[in-house]
A and B are shown apart, each in its own frame.
Chain A
């Protein structure tokens, strides 16, 4: 392959490559970069998300048992932990919007509240080899995992001031912590994500409002899209991104308030709700 030669002649200096001179907006050019498979960067790792509102905001009685299960799982599995921010994120947004800050400004603020929960969890688990992984240390993940560490990552994606405008009229940032963790799992080629919440899984209606809500034990992504419950325990943006994803095969939602559920899910048991991607990337 002759790729790499420098070419001149139209006023610009190009490097010879199949994308040379091409408009990267051209659909044919974009399609030329597609292929059936995709490289897996860190495939044998599971990502576990600990809910902000659902676990952290409930305090000690909810946090400690989950922390204990994480400590027991460390060493048995390669796990990366993410945490949500919870009610302090909501408070931040509520004040920021009252002040009229733009969507990107709001997005810039919220990650701090999650980072605080990450630091809190890390303080609890430090003697069990946890550590807060800063984004600049992204490529140190293999080092941590190979040494049996338990990295705790910041869940909010680094969209910050550059958060894209939401749907017409809404000032709320849409790329939240569920989405951020999902993309992290996907780019690293992970297959499984676990969301630890305060409900037994996904219901056909919000179980906090409806006593007759039914638990969905297993559903495919396409079936979920065909009949989306009005109140989802995970971000809609995550589900949208999943449709174009190639690696994440399963998302499991378990109840962190029920002792042992997280451990059973990590061991591969079908507890809570399992969402399967189903059909592979087209």
Chain B
């Protein structure tokens, strides 16, 4: 609009971005990032791997976590599991869009978070929604264990993927993104396996354990199946804060404690 006098003019506020296209990646800016809450332990409790096992898996895990809450700031995020699989299956048969599946899948981890909250209530367990995220400092100050869904809040706004309807951003992605925005270096994923294997150990007994691997390296291997959502590996390659994911076996007593103490148990996937 070559300053046509008949056209109403834009009123810019000014600043380095005035008039700029905003959503194009830029790294020419002066930017010194701050970490918001780097000491929080962001922990995912697996849906199919832990919660669907019920009492036999969950009670020992909570017994292990409760004494740690005075030492660490624990943020528990729940996975979905078989009920999420069931609704994805029904909805994809009805040819529903990905965003609808993401919204439907969101209900299950919220239920799971509410279950953990009930069990942890007497130890300060509080259920929180995405909108309560800014209250985390309060919960920790009061000695609480905040519990939320692992799902990110994308819902109907989840973008469709290529070649399938299952939303790409599910509870692993939400947990990683929570850690990233809080400025936490390592996110912990509690599953029912010792970590990452060369193949699904539940289906292939000769699969071997991987102790440490870079996200790029893992993506390059192009494995048909993974223990963590693929999109998380892509995010990890671009992460600014959360540069390590640790996957531990929550069915083996003591591993979660050792992981929280900083020990490299299970599998570490790092930004390479």
Q: Which residues of A contact B (CB under 8 A)?
A: 3-4, 10-15, 17-35, 37-39, 41, 53-54, 57-62, 87-91, 93-95, 97-105, 138, 157-176, 178-180, 183-184, 186-187, 189, 198-199, 207-208, 211, 231-232, 235-237, 241, 243-247, 257
The 10 closest A-B pairs by CB, nearest first: A104-B181, A187-B99, A169-B27, A30-B164, A170-B25, A61-B8, A33-B92, A157-B157, A19-B85, A162-B152
With A158-B154, A165-B180, A171-B240 in contact, is A19–B20 under 8 Å at CB? no
Q: Report if B208 contacts A (CB, 8 A).
A: no
What are some 22 contacts across the A-B interface (CB < 8 A)? Answer: A3-B86, A11-B57, A19-B88, A25-B225, A25-B230, A34-B165, A35-B95, A62-B8, A88-B13, A90-B18, A94-B16, A102-B240, A158-B154, A162-B154, A166-B25, A167-B25, A172-B23, A172-B26, A183-B157, A187-B100, A236-B23, A257-B1
B250 CB-CB contact with A under 8 Å: no
> Are the CB atoms of A162 and B181 closer together than 8 Å?
yes
Binding site for A on B (CB under 8 A): 1-2, 7-27, 29-36, 48-49, 52-54, 56-57, 81-83, 85-86, 88-90, 92, 94-100, 130, 133, 152-166, 169-170, 173-174, 177-178, 180-181, 183, 192, 200, 202, 224-231, 235, 237-241
> Within the complex, what minimum Cβ distance (angstroms) separates B234 from chain A?
8
Of the candidates A25, A29, A34, A232, the one having the most CB atoms from chain B within 10 angstroms of its own CB is A25
Q: 18 additional contacts, CB 8 Å, given A157-B154, A246-B160?
A: A20-B85, A20-B86, A27-B224, A27-B225, A34-B165, A38-B97, A41-B97, A57-B11, A57-B12, A90-B12, A90-B19, A94-B17, A160-B133, A164-B177, A166-B238, A171-B33, A172-B26, A236-B24
Cα–Cα, bound, A17→B18 (Å):
52
**Interface residue SS majority, chain A:** loop
Contact partner, A161, options B11, B133, B164, Cβ 8 Å: B133
**A167→B88 CA distance, assembly (Å):** 30
Give Cα A219–Cα B226 distance, bound, in whole angstroms. 39
> B159, A58: Cβ atoms under 8 Å?
no
Report the minimal beta-carbon distance from A243 to chain B, rounded to whole angstroms. Answer: 8
